[in-house]
Chains A and B, each alone.
Chain A
Amino acid sequence: MSGVWTLAELREGQISPVSYELLAWGRSLADSLEVELSSIALGSKIHDVNSLFDHGADIVYKVDDDRIEHFLPDVYSNVITKLAKAYHPQIIIASATTYGRTIMPILSTKLNTGLTADCTKLEIENGTLLQTRPAIGGNVMATIRTQTTPQMATVRPRSKKPISYDKSQRKIVIPKIEDELFKSAYRWMKFEKDESIDSPIQESDIVVSGGRGMKDENHFEMLYELAKKFNGTVGASRTAVDMGWIPYSHQVGLSGKTVNPRLYMAFGISGAIQHIAGMSSSEVVVAVNTDPDAPIFNVADFGIIGDATEILPELLKALGDENG
């Protein structure tokens, strides 16, 4: 068995931060099992492999090839399957991003093993992995054991802070992959950046969300301004999305995105269970709502009973003063 593996994630050759968070998860598992932690990096013109060592990896398996500049599910899964069959990892974890959520079920099918999605806790008991995850909008938590190997799981982005690591062996393995495995059924064509969103809402440190209580699209401008001041992104309840005030990619909740930022601010959001499902694991929650009985206050660390559309201008002004 070759220990614990994490699937690094790359965008245009650049290692994305979720890869380091994943190494923090992997490090604690590898330490309890007393095995090595490896990171699997697939891509083209990969920069800064060393940063993976700095954040917890002992070994990096690197496949750097022009033909896999973009995510091709068949090639990626074939290559990782080949590596897993050759090196027998005990555990493989990935981030619950669109990449992780696509590649992991394909891999687990090819490797004939179980997979647990969106874990909030991973621990080792008697040498085996226990995976805890929420289900049904966070109403139920289940602890799951996979009886086959590798044991595979995805974890939510932002669910752990990256660590720094100085005991790495810094071993890079460059496996030989036959040309045959690079043949893809996918014809990748282009990527168009979404202009309305600077960074994906799931990866944001601070999410500033609005709901029906924001009253209209114009009031949402204040949320964009606030998000900008915090270097964060704007989220929304389903009602706000349904009203057409903001695109669906910003929706937080059961049928939208799950976020767990350091700070989640809810302006004019009632806190229906389906909304809470997408934000309850945020570190700090602030809510502004005119209704003292709004359920959002149950999950808030700090709440203000008041009018969001009146408090926001004051908040923006005060923050402006703070910054000089």
Chain B
Amino acid sequence: MRIAVLIKQVPATDKVRMDEKTGTMVRSEMEAELNPLDMYAVEEAVRIKERMKDAHVTAITMGPPAASDAIKDAISIGCDDGYLLTDRRFAGADTWATAYTLSMAIKKLGGFDLIFCGERATDGETGQVGPSVGAQMGIPVLTYVSEISELTGDHIRVKRAIEGGHETVEVDLPALVSVVKEINEPRLPNLSGKLKAKSAIVSNLDAAGMEADQSKIGLGGSPTRVVKVFYPKITRNGKIVRSKDPHTAAKALIEFLKSKEII
């Protein structure tokens, strides 16, 4: 079984700078890490590999050259190898163009039985890339997966965490699965994993290498444009009181709720 995990490198701090002109994030000069929600996708793929002897797990990311660190992180916790999709022409891609690029790379790499991704990236926070990759590939998309109940060489049955409960659905492979945090507890890399990652060679793939249509990649291929960026102030300047005793505090709270017509 061939498994791919789509991972993204995101800014590690909340100090993020935006380029006001292009409306895209300034990625250099910031500390970056593997998107925390993608760890669950990597972990799930690695667990399958541990159960199924013939499984092979490939991590794939699109990003600047430094994003190869994310691939190394994924290898350190058990992925077999990884590809970095990098090309100046990929820059500024929105979710549509990102999904197109990822799907072209997946096709180039010969297709996979299962493609994992995270629920969303903590920077863009759209959660659109995964389902969009599935749609580009024309394969079933299983979102919000909280448990894989059954997996064989030809089908997968999952539980999806949806409003108010869990839904069980099944599809034939290949399929794209986006996972939620509930699904597992990601491991930390062990020493041998770290050593393996250190010596791992991350293969690069550019636009020409994956035979991508130049008009569908990067900023130029993106149907959306950021027209303005601003930094909101979220301070509310509310009334803060010190509790004299719990009873008085509770009364004050009730008075406040009444003044807002909540009770």
Residues of A within 8 A of B (CB): 70, 73-74, 77, 97-99, 101-102, 104-106, 108-110, 112-118, 130, 134-148, 185-194, 197, 199-200, 202-203, 206, 230, 247-249, 251, 254-256, 262-263, 273, 276, 280, 284-286, 288, 292, 297-307, 310-311, 313-315, 317-319, 322
Q: With contacts A73-B141, A136-B123, A190-B168 known, is A297 near B238, CB below 8 A?
A: yes
Residues of B within 8 A of A (CB): 11, 14, 16, 18, 23, 36-37, 94-96, 99, 122-132, 134-136, 140-141, 143-144, 157, 160-172, 180-182, 222-232, 234-236, 238-243, 246-247, 249-254, 256-257, 260, 262-263
Contact A298 B127 (CB under 8 A): no
Contact A142 B226 (CB under 8 A): yes
Q: With contacts A139-B16, A194-B165 known, is A315 near B96, CB below 8 A?
A: no
Cβ–Cβ < 8 Å partners of A114 in chain B: 94, 96, 222-224
Cβ–Cβ < 8 Å partners of A73 in chain B: 131, 140-141
Distance between Cα atoms of A255 and B95 in the complex (Å): 19
Q: With contacts A108-B96, A109-B96 known, is A143 near B226, CB below 8 A?
A: yes
Contact A141 B128 (CB under 8 A): no
Contact B234 A280 (CB under 8 A): yes
Contact A139 B238 (CB under 8 A): no
A-B pairs with lowest CB-CB distance, top 3: A306-B243, A114-B223, A314-B250
Closest approach, in angstroms, between the C-beta of B118 and any C-beta of chain A? 10
Cβ–Cβ < 8 Å partners of B234 in chain A: 138, 276, 280, 298-299
Q: Which residue in B95, B167, B182, B256 is a CB contact (below 8 Å) of A248? A: B182
Contact A139 B14 (CB under 8 A): yes
Closest approach, in angstroms, between the C-beta of B76 and any C-beta of chain A? 21
Contact B163 A255 (CB under 8 A): no
Contact A314 B249 (CB under 8 A): yes
Cβ–Cβ < 8 Å partners of A188 in chain B: 167-169
Cβ–Cβ < 8 Å partners of A313 in chain B: 246
Distance between Cα atoms of A193 and B164 in the complex (Å): 6
Contact B164 A197 (CB under 8 A): yes
Give the interface SS of chain B, mostly helix, strand, loop or mixed. mixed
Cβ–Cβ < 8 Å partners of B161 in chain A: 98, 249
Q: With contacts A143-B227, A189-B170 known, is A104 near B243, CB below 8 A?
A: no
Q: With contacts A130-B227, A192-B166, A248-B181 known, is A311 near B262, CB below 8 A?
A: no
7 contacts between A and B (CB under 8 A): A105-B127, A136-B14, A144-B224, A145-B225, A251-B181, A284-B260, A286-B257
Cβ–Cβ < 8 Å partners of B124 in chain A: 135
Q: With contacts A194-B164, A286-B253, A307-B243 known, is A142 near B229, CB below 8 A?
A: yes
Closest approach, in angstroms, between the C-beta of A184 and any C-beta of chain B? 9
Contact A304 B162 (CB under 8 A): no
- Of A117, A140, A186, A305, the most chain B CB neighbours within 10 A belong to A140
Q: Which residue in B123, B181, B225 is a CB contact (below 8 Å) of A144? A: B225
Not counting A194-B165, A284-B260, a sample of 9 additional A-B residue pairs whose C-beta atoms are within 8 angstroms of each other reads A115-B96, A141-B229, A142-B18, A191-B165, A200-B164, A254-B122, A255-B181, A301-B260, A317-B250
Contact B262 A284 (CB under 8 A): yes
The chain A residue sitting closest to B162, CB to CB, is A98
